[in-house]
Chains A and B, each alone.
Chain A
């Protein structure tokens, strides 16, 4: 069965610290990969996505993620976090050839301290 693992459940950082959130998936075929973010009181929204090509993808607000196929990973990074990055972050996988299916990780709660 497909699964998405996010290793960090709660992360607390000071402003300007670097961020890396881990995401690993279990799926034998080709996948599209996503990071979604949910700011306090808001709906889930797309942060970035990877379909093909350059495995280093850049998203909104200075976030980036790197797809490492051999490790089945899609880790999210940001060099310098801001207080406004406080949110829940969800990794998601969309297996190709299965229609519009998406599988989500359990999420990581990020708190940035000013």
Chain B
């Protein structure tokens, strides 16, 4: 079974430039997450989708970050314009269906997209 696929693995851009990350979750996983991981820190949630609906985007800096999951499968995360402080690893994860509001279990992570903003 294929895992969570992310691209690109690495991206180097200059500040004020746009950047986009793509994620394809595990087939059948309806919940998709974008996390931000700074060096020496744990993953911090940016946005969580249930199918195509963003159910938690409270931590997404909406002035420069946007995300979409149009068909409830793959997703893109965009930053425009990028700032120096955006340098980090952007992790995508997926999880199976949430039943009756319960927490279903483990997250399946992609390998991450490492962004360096110069």
Segment with Cβ contacts to B, from A39-47, A61-69, A77-85:
A39-47
Q: Does B14 have its Cβ within 8 Å of any Cβ on chain A?
A: no
Query: A residues 1-33 with Cβ under 8 Å of B?
Result: 4, 6, 9, 32
B106 and A49: CB pair below 8 A? yes
A100 and B42: CB pair below 8 A? no
Q: How far is the CB of B99 from chain A (nearest CB, A)?
A: 10
When C-beta atoms are compared, the residue in chain B nearest to A42 turns out to be B111
Q: Which of B31, B40, B112 contacts A43 (CB 8 A)?
A: B112
Q: Does B61 have its Cβ within 8 Å of any Cβ on chain A?
A: no
On whether A100 and B43 interact (CB within 8 A), knowing A32-B103, A34-B106, A44-B109, the answer reads no
Interface size on B, residues (CB 8 A): 29
Q: How far is the CA of A94 from the CA of B50 in the complex (A)?
A: 16
Q: How large is the interface on A (under 10, 10 to 19, 20 to 34, 35 or more residues)?
A: 20 to 34
Q: Which of A45, A99, A100, A107 contacts B109 (CB 8 A)?
A: A45
A90 and B103: CB pair below 8 A? no
When C-beta atoms are compared, the residue in chain B nearest to A105 turns out to be B42
Q: How far is the CA of A106 from the CA of B41 in the complex (A)?
A: 5
Per-position binary interface string of chain B over residues 86-118, scored 1 when its CB falls under 8 Å from any chain A CB and 0 otherwise: 000001010100100111111101111000000
Q: Does A72 have its Cβ within 8 Å of any Cβ on chain B?
A: no
B103 and A101: CB pair below 8 A? yes
On whether A101 and B56 interact (CB within 8 A), knowing A32-B103, A43-B111, A49-B106, the answer reads yes
Query: A residues 54-112 with Cβ under 8 Å of B?
Result: 90, 92, 94-107, 109
17 A-B interface contacts by CB (under 8 A): A32-B105, A44-B43, A44-B91, A46-B106, A97-B102, A98-B101, A98-B103, A99-B50, A99-B55, A100-B48, A100-B50, A100-B98, A100-B103, A102-B107, A103-B45, A106-B40, A107-B40
